[in-house]
């Protein structure tokens, strides 16, 4: 057997030597042939790579074209005038919805708005305990993208128990009809086209003016009555605590008689924090710590999802961002899971504008960018505002407007009006001028 293997090995060696000798004898022919083969392989690889790059670029261009087309379709929509109480059917569904919120009628609320998750339902029910009525509701509408749909801006006056003053607010809804012709309310679950359309409409002048009117009225109330601010802060904190307790109780495992009989004084187990999923309801700054003065790590985009690690009592949420801990204002996060968090459940409740003093009423701790939301400095007209970062002073509320000058850190100005479009009107050298609200405090 060994002799046979050795014979075969010798035969292979002889053939290799023969091939080697043949190549050496014909090297003038063989070497150019090898070179041609190598060049051919190189060309083939390059062509395939170019085709792959071409396909990737074509796919990217197609995606960009689709996005641009969608934006153009939204921008090409005619600028309809804002109509006040023009559609009785829409007014009726809004009135029924707000009356149900005041009375805590969750069956009616769930029937009119099927987009609420369990946490939002609990929050609405707890809020209803403080609301006596909505004595005034005005519904301003613009046509939606399809027939029998509307972008509705509901301006309300809410009356709380033990308060004589009614509080103004404004909430945005997308109202449509179901297959049976019944109107329903959608307050946040949109596709990209509807979402872009609502943003475009909301930034139109007549809607911004309406929002500013509500903001001014709300700020004037807070400036006149310190007790009102304390009441709203207490109500929000208490609702958060109550919602957290309800969720914690719902998640506690059922105990047997033996377990509950061990210690009658210890009837509740400690609940470990649970990381929940939430999405951003607006463009908002992501910061390194829970402070508006903290360094910015980035910006959350609308509908961008995050894992919430902790919801703090100071109105901030700790999130996971690019593998690190970061912070976002809780008012601009909406919980999309049904898992419990810690006691401070501070997701934004789009179903009722009173959760943050009617949504568009200028929370003093707002940390959003210019996306049609309320400005962020929380000052009343006539107050002094201070510049946090060097910023341009402009003639009108636009980055394309003429520059009147530069405001430096520490400069102060008299606030004329805090606008809902992310700008603040201030007194500058005896005249009105505009500064981005995010640079003021």
| Domain co-membership, 245 together with 222 | no
pLDDT of residue 288: 87
Q: Is the pLDDT of residue 14 over 50?
A: yes
| Domain co-membership, 48 together with 27 | yes
Per-residue pLDDT, averaged over 283-288, amounts to 86
Domain boundary among 29, 59, 76: 76
Residue 15 domain flag: no
- Coil vs helix vs strand at 15: helix
Residue 71 domain flag: yes
Which pTM value belongs to this model? 0.47
CB-based burial label for 340 (10 Å; 0-12, 13-18, 19+): buried
pLDDT of residue 323: 83
Residue 3 domain flag: no
* Nearest C-alpha neighbor of 239 from the set 351, 125, 315: 125
| Domain co-membership, 60 together with 113 | no
**Tell me, what CATH number does 392's domain have?**
2.30.30.40
What whole-number distance in Å separates Cα of residue 106 and Cα of residue 409?
50
Residue 286 domain flag: yes
| Domain co-membership, 171 together with 46 | no
| Domain co-membership, 221 together with 168 | yes
**Tokens in use for 65?**
């074209």
Q: What is the DSSP letter of 376?
A: S
| Domain co-membership, 295 together with 325 | yes
| Domain co-membership, 143 together with 208 | yes
**Tell me, what CATH number does 104's domain have?**
3.10.450.100
41-54 residues labelled b (16+ CB within 10 A) or e (exposed): eeeeeeeeeeeeee
pLDDT of residue 44: 75
CB 240 within 8 A of CB 345: yes
What whole-number distance in Å separates Cα of residue 130 and Cα of residue 159?
9
| Domain co-membership, 149 together with 221 | yes
Residue 180 domain flag: yes
What whole-number distance in Å separates Cα of residue 372 and Cα of residue 353?
16
| Domain co-membership, 329 together with 393 | no
The band of 67, judged by pLDDT with boundaries at 50, 70 and 90, is low
What whole-number distance in Å separates Cα of residue 296 and Cα of residue 165?
39
Per-residue pLDDT, averaged over 9-26, amounts to 70
What whole-number distance in Å separates Cα of residue 95 and Cα of residue 85?
11
362-390 residues labelled b (16+ CB within 10 A) or e (exposed): bbeebbbbbebbbbbbbbbeeeebebbee
pLDDT per residue as tens digits for the range 97-128: 999 999 989 889 888 887 777 888 888 889 99
Q: Is the pLDDT of residue 46 over 80?
A: no
The band of 93, judged by pLDDT with boundaries at 50, 70 and 90, is very high
Q: Please, which residues bridge with residue 176 across strands?
A: 184
The band of 276, judged by pLDDT with boundaries at 50, 70 and 90, is confident
What whole-number distance in Å separates Cα of residue 210 and Cα of residue 341?
36
Residue 375 domain flag: no
Per-residue pLDDT, averaged over 268-291, amounts to 72
Residue 261 domain flag: no
User: To 5 degrees, how large is the angle CA 30–CA 32–CA 34?
Assistant: 70
Q: Provide the number of structural domains found in the chain.
A: 4
Handedness of CA 248, 253, 256, 259 (dihedral sign): negative
| Domain co-membership, 324 together with 306 | yes
| Domain co-membership, 207 together with 326 | no
Residue that wins the pLDDT comparison between 344 and 28: 28
**Tokens in use for 311?**
């919801």
Domain boundary among 309, 333, 352: 352
Q: Is the pLDDT of residue 275 over 70?
A: no
| Domain co-membership, 105 together with 153 | yes
Q: Which domain holds residue 413?
A: 384-439
What whole-number distance in Å separates Cα of residue 24 and Cα of residue 17?
10
Residue 328 domain flag: yes
Q: What is the DSSP letter of 346?
A: -
Domain boundary among 197, 228, 259: 228
């Amino acid at each position: 057997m060994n002799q046979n293997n050795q014979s075969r090995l010798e035969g292979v060696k002889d053939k290799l030597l023969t091939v080697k000798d043949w190549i050496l004898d014909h090297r003038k022919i063989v070497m150019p042939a090898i070179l041609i083969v190598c060049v051919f392989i190189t060309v083939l690889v390059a062509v395939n790579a170019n085709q792959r790059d071409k396909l990737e670029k074509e796919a990217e261009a197609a995606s960009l074209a689709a996005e641009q087309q969608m934006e153009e379709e939204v921008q090409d929509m005619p600028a309809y005038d804002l109509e006040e109480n023009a559609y009785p059917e829409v007014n009726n569904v809004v009135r029924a919805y707000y009356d149900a919120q005041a009375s805590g009628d969750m069956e009616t609320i769930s029937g009119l708005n099927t987009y609420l998750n369990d946490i939002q339902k609990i929050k609405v029910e707890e809020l209803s305990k403080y609301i006596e009525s909505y004595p005034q509701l005005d519904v301003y509408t613009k046509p939606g993208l399809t027939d029998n749909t509307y972008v509705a801006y509901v301006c309300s006056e809410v009356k709380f128990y033990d308060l004589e003053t009614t509080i103004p607010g404004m909430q945005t809804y997308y109202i449509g009809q179901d297959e049976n012709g019944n109107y329903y309310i959608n307050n946040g679950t949109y596709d990209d086209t509807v979402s872009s359309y609502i943003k475009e409409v909301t930034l139109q002048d007549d809607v911004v003016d309406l929002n500013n009117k509500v903001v001014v009225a709300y700020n004037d109330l807070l400036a006149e009555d310190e007790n009102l601010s304390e009441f709203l802060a207490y109500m929000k904190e208490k609702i958060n605590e109550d919602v957290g307790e309800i969720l914690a109780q719902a998640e506690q495992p059922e105990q047997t008689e033996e377990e509950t009989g061990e210690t009658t004084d210890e009837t509740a187990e400690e609940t470990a924090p649970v990381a929940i999923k939430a999405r951003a309801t607006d463009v908002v700054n992501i910061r390194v710590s829970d402070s508006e003065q903290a360094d910015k790590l980035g910006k959350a985009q609308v509908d961008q999802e995050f894992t919430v690690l902790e919801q703090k009592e100071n109105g901030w949420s700790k999130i996971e961002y690019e593998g690190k801990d970061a912070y976002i204002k809780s008012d601009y996060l909406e919980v999309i899971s049904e898992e419990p968090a810690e006691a401070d459940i501070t997701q934004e409740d789009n179903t009722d504008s009173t959760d943050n003093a009617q949504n568009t009423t200028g929370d003093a701790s707002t940390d959003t960018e210019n996306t049609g939301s309320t400005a962020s400095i929380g000052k009343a007209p006539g107050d002094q505002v201070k510049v946090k970062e060097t910023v341009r002073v402009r003639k009108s509320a636009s980055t394309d407007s003429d520059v009147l000058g530069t405001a430096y850190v520490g400069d102060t100005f008299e606030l004329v009006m805090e606008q809902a479009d992310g700008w603040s009107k201030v007194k500058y050298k005896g005249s009105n001028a505009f500064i981005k609200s995010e640079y003021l405090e």
